[in-house]
């Protein structure tokens, strides 16, 4: 990251009344040089904001003073969340998906972050192995909550081995300090069969109950193993192993509810699907803060689709690359503006996990005429079947036998600024495809619009 630059200026805002233009570099705010968007937001909250900016092609920086109501938005959008540099991860986790990425993808996809600021802003998970006293002091002073922490195991020796970092054995001491200070923390365990499951997972969950009872939640998520993995100890779960994880999670749901008054431990929807079980409904969850981890996501989507109402705001989760994360805040938008095709008959293309869920939803709610097509992930292979990791070339292959007359919909979760993970854009596909926001409400609205067009022409 190279400083903060203005990416847009809201019309009619206080910032639009002074000499600022897009791409001006922000040098200081009220005499301080903010290192991230969190500090920036705090500095611009008052009624007088003095900016020092540097314009491209000009040798000297300029001072600009803006007067506004206290708390009123300044009207500037900044192009990044971190102005100094992202604190990168120095772990070499055996299960890390970044090591499974093929060569030649966008450089930003290979960035591993372990930055508590991105944890606060976007729900990225941090292992705390690069955490410091200064970080703890800032989080407490500024109330940066909630945070998201990767636990994986509470066995110090095993945690150091899984992270391939000796600090992994001791860094959970910071978790204790964060919880003691009243910071809300969501935890996760990437469950790797034969490594940190079984008795080790049970030990971890007992430690959560006794050592970290203040944790808001703990999500158990399956390890993603693509065909590109070179880790001999990493493999995907079979049905029996997935069912055992689900049973353990549900056991600790009951236990934490009995002892602490609230359920804390949840298995991701993917575990239920691999185990051949239906994921639980929304009534089973205290919140949807771990939905980006796949906890309650199916339930939230189904409820939104069935009732035709917007989904509740979701949290963020594991392995979100900087430019491929949820379309919120300072993340890159999922899709650019795309003209909708006026097709009538609809085909929805999605990942292998989501396809049978959509088929059932459509049949239950009167959309039996909508075709659902599962896109097999040949790009990554392995157990990678989620919609968010669909690539352009796999989608192109799935489109070969779909009539050109059909309206083809894809979830926008697989896109970042209109591009798939493999670098292909929507324009690179051989036929028009329309991205739809990945919520039940948005999908149902699109299907109803297509039906209304068909009926109007009948």
Residue 319: what pLDDT? 32
**Domains 4-78 and 98-307 are alike in CATH topology:** no
The strand pair at 48-54 and 407-411 is best described as: unpaired
Residue 444: what pLDDT? 94
CATH dotted code for 98-307: 3.20.20
Residue ranges of the chain whose pLDDT lies below 50: 1, 313-330
Closest CA to 409 of 357, 351, 346: 346
In the sheet with 265-267, reading across from the earlier edge strand, the strands are 147-150, 185-191, 217-222, 265-267
pLDDT tens-digit series, residues 137-179: 999 999 999 999 999 999 999 999 999 999 999 999 999 999 9
* Per-domain boundaries in the chain: 4-78, 98-307, 346-457
Residue 18 contacts residue 92 (beta carbons within 8 Å): no
Q: Please state the pTM of the whole predicted model.
A: 0.88
Residue 292: what pLDDT? 74
DSSP secondary structure of 313-382: PP---SS--TTSS-SSTTSPPS----PPP--SSEEEEE-TTHHHHHHHHHHHTT-TTSEEEE---TTT-T
Residue 315: what pLDDT? 43
Residue 252 contacts residue 209 (beta carbons within 8 Å): yes
Q: What is the distance between the alpha carbons of residues 286 and 312, in angstroms, rounded to a whole number?
A: 13
Residue 331: what pLDDT? 56
Residue 32, helix vs strand vs coil? strand
The strand pair at 265-267 and 346-350 is best described as: unpaired
Q: What is the distance between the alpha carbons of residues 15 and 66, in angstroms, rounded to a whole number?
A: 7
Residue 1: what pLDDT? 44
Burial class (CB in 10 A: 0-12, 13-18, 19+), 107: exposed
Annotation: CATH topology of 4-78:
Pdz3 Domain (2.30.42)
Residues 6+ apart with CB under 8 A from 366: none
């Amino acid at each position: 990251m190279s400083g903060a630059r203005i990416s847009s200026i809201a019309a009619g805002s206080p910032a639009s009344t002074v000499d600022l233009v897009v791409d001006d570099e922000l040098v200081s705010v009220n005499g301080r040089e903010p290192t991230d968007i969190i500090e920036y937001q705090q500095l611009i909250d008052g009624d007088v904001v003095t900016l020092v900016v540097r314009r491209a092609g000009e040798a000297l920086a300029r001072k600009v003073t803006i007067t506004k109501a206290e708390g009123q938005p300044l009207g500037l959008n900044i192009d990044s969340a971190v102005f100094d540099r992202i604190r990168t991860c120095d772990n070499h986790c055996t299960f890390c998906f970044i090591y499974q990425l093929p060569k030649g993808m966008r450089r930003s996809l290979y960035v591993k972050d372990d930055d508590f600021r991105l944890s606060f802003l976007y729900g990225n998970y941090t292992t705390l192995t690069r955490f410091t006293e200064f970080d703890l002091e800032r989080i407490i002073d500024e109330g940066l909550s909630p945070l998201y922490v990767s636990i994986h195991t509470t066995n110090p020796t095993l945690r150091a081995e899984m992270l391939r970092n000796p600090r992994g054995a001791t860094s959970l001491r910071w978790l204790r300090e964060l919880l003691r200070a009243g910071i809300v923390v969501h935890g996760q365990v990437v469950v790797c069969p034969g490594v940190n499951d079984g008795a080790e997972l049970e030990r971890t969950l007992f430690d959560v109950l006794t050592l970290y009872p203040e944790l808001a939640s703990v999500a158990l998520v399956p390890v993603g193993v693509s065909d590109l993995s070179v880790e001999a100890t990493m493999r995907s779960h079979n049905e029996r192993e997935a069912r055992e994880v689900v049973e353990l999670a549900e056991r600790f749901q009951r236990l934490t509810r009995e002892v602490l008054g609230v359920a804390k431990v949840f298995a991701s929807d993917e575990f239920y699907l691999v185990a051949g079980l239906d994921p639980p409904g929304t009534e089973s969850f205290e919140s949807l803060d771990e939905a980006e981890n796949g906890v309650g996501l199916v339930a939230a989507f189904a409820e939104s689709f069935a009732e035709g109402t917007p989904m509740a705001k979701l949290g963020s989760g594991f392995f979100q690359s900087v430019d491929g994360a949820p379309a919120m805040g300072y993340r890159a938008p999922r899709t650019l503006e795309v003209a909708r095709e006026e097709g009538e008959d609809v085909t929805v293309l999605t990942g292998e996990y989501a396809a049978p869920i959509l088929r059932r939803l459509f049949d239950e709610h009167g959309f039996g005429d909508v075709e659902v097509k599962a896109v097999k992930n040949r790009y990554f292979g392995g157990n990678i079947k989620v919609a968010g990791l669909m690539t352009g070339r796999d989608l192109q292959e799935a489109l070969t036998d779909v009539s050109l007359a059909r309206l083809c919909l894809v979830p926008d979760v697989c896109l970042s600024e209109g591009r798939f993970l493999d670098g292909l854009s929507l324009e690179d596909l051989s036929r028009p495809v329309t991205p739809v926001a990945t919520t039940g409400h948005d999908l149902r609205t699109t299907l109803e619009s297509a039906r209304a067009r068909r009926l109007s022409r009948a």
